[in-house]
Amino acid sequence: MLDHRLDSEYEELRRTVAEFAADVVAPTIGDFYEREEFPYEIVKEMGRMGLFGLPFPEEYGGMGGDYFALCLALEELARVDSSVAITLEAGVSLGAMPIYRFGTEEQKREWLPRLAAGEMLGAFGLTEPEGGSDAGATRTTARFDEATREWVINGTKCFITNSGTDITGLVTVTALTEPIARSSEEGGEASPKREISSIIVPVGTPGFQVSKKYSKVGWNASDTRELSFTDCRVPEANLLGQRGRGFAQFLRILDEGRIAIAALSTGLAQGCVDQSLQYAATRRAFGRPIGANQAIQFKISDMEMRTHLSRLAWRDAASRLLLAEPFKKEAAIAKLYSSEAAVDNAREATQIHGGYGFMNEYPVARFWRDSKILEIGEGTSEVQRMLIARELGMSS
């Protein structure tokens, strides 16, 4: 018999994070958001709680939990604020997880304890200015210098979360390491095969430059920047995983990350329901609470439906991941549905709040500004539909 209820350990975690979000994040995050300021004290407290170490083994400084636990935390944080949630999501699933999944024992022991403690943030350098959804069209290069046994990196990355904070310690970048000749069919001319590898670049490495913060529509209390590399040299040992497997490694990381973004999206969608219920009960018009009007009831009912289905979708994908079952299609479905549900709920919550929904002092204004990026980051809605179609056996 199936039981969709959380066990006691998961429920305790969910409740703990929910209380932290309500008591610590909610009262102050609006000010950080308006100042476009990174909330260092909140992040530090999240580190003390062990949130950055949730899915990692204790031997590397983690909490000995799993990816499902991380997603539970992300949903509860995003229920109050997405800037804080995306800082955790990117720090764990994009910053630390590549090292845990593909790093050597030395790399894990060097980096993971500080990343898991939240003392240091890692970033994920994949997207490039002319790449976007075509992440395989990497132009950043990494030439191996035989004389010094170093990688020499040149290129630019954009839209990189957690890359320029005072506690950012590393960025893992994908780079074109060497084209390998590949013979074409029927004896034609050889064509180059793009060899993409992953390399760890510590912050402060000469030739590694971090730009000023982007001016963004949403996620204003999170850190997002462009990165440039000019003859940036790192040791041979900074290669992450097998040479030439960098792109395949990051595809795996993105598959997992889509579950995390689905959980974050579900949290935002739930926050919209929470705020709308509260407002509908207290806002009076024409002599009665607006929640007494069927039009408002139907809007909130649809919002609750979308939130519920989003939660079921990400939990299904996360469960498949934990059971080591195929989950690529389910992750794409969860990310696609929940991100669009978040956008729809944010729009309806703003409408329910009327003019107040357009005022930044109300959380729904922040939700509305934060929601759209969920349909874009870690694979656009169009890319998710392509992935689902491919998993169904359809090809273009």
Domains of the chain: 8-121 (1.10.540.10), 123-244 (2.40.110.10), 248-391 (1.20.140.10)
| Percent share of the chain, pLDDT over 70 | 94
pLDDT (tens digit per residue) in 157-181: 999 999 999 999 999 999 999 764 4
Concatenating the DSSP letter of every residue in 372-390 gives GGGGTTTS-HHHHHHHHHH
Helix (H) or strand (E) holding 228: strand 224-235
What's the mean pLDDT in 237-264? 94
Check residue 247 and give its pLDDT. Answer: 86
Asked if the model's pLDDT at residue 186 lies above 70, the reply is no
Does the annotation count 106 as an active-site position?
no
Beta carbons within 8 Å of 183's beta carbon, 6+ residues apart: 190
**For residue 329, what are its two tokens?**
């299609």
**CB contact at 8 A, 82 and 145:** no
Query: Can you tell me the distance from the alpha carbon of 370 to that of 219, in angstroms, rounded to the nearest whole number?
Result: 6
Angle at 379 between CA 62 and CA 303, to 5 degrees: 85
Q: How many angstroms separate the CA atoms of 296 and 292, rounded?
A: 8
Contact 278, 291 (CB under 8 A): no
Local confidence band at 191 (pLDDT 50, 70, 90 cut-offs) = very low
Non-local (6+) Cβ contacts of 282 within 8 A are 289
Q: Using 50, 70 and 90 to split pLDDT, how confident is the model at 289?
A: very high
Per-residue confidence (pLDDT) for residue 194, from 0 to 100: 80
Packing angle, helices 363-371 and 82-89, rounded to 10: 40
Residue that has been written with the tokens 């997002």 in this structure: 224
- Quick check: 155 and 207 in contact, CB under 8 A? no
In the prediction, which pLDDT does 183 show?
40
Q: Distance (Å, rounded) from C-alpha 316 to C-alpha 185?
A: 42
Q: What separation in angstroms does the CA of 181 have from each of 135, 191, 193, 199?
A: 21, 6, 6, 22
> What's 117's DSSP letter?
T
Phi-psi group of 324: left, alpha or beta (phi > 0 → left; psi -120 to 50 → alpha; rest → beta): left
Give me the catalytic one of 75, 76, 375, 378.
Answer: 378
**Judging by DSSP bridges, how do beta strands 168-176 and 121-125 pair with one another?**
parallel
Span of 90-99, 246-255, 264-273, 297-306 with lowest mean pLDDT:
246-255
Residue 226: strand, helix, or coil: strand
Question: Is the predicted pLDDT of residue 113 greater than 50, yes or no?
Answer: yes
232 pairs with which residues across the strands? 153
Cβ-based neighbour number of residue 31 at 10 Å: 11
Gyration radius of the chain over CA positions: 22
- Per residue in 313-372, pLDDT (tens digit) is 999 999 999 999 999 999 999 999 999 999 999 999 999 999 999 998 899 999 999 999
Rounded (10°) CA dihedral 243, 248, 252, 257? 90
Return d(Cα 218, Cα 377) in angstroms, integer. 12
Sequential DSSP letters for 182-212: EPPGGG---EEE--EEEEEEETT-TTEEE-P
- Which secondary structure element, helix H or strand E, spans residue 175, and what is its range? strand 168-176
Looking at residue 138, its pLDDT comes to 86
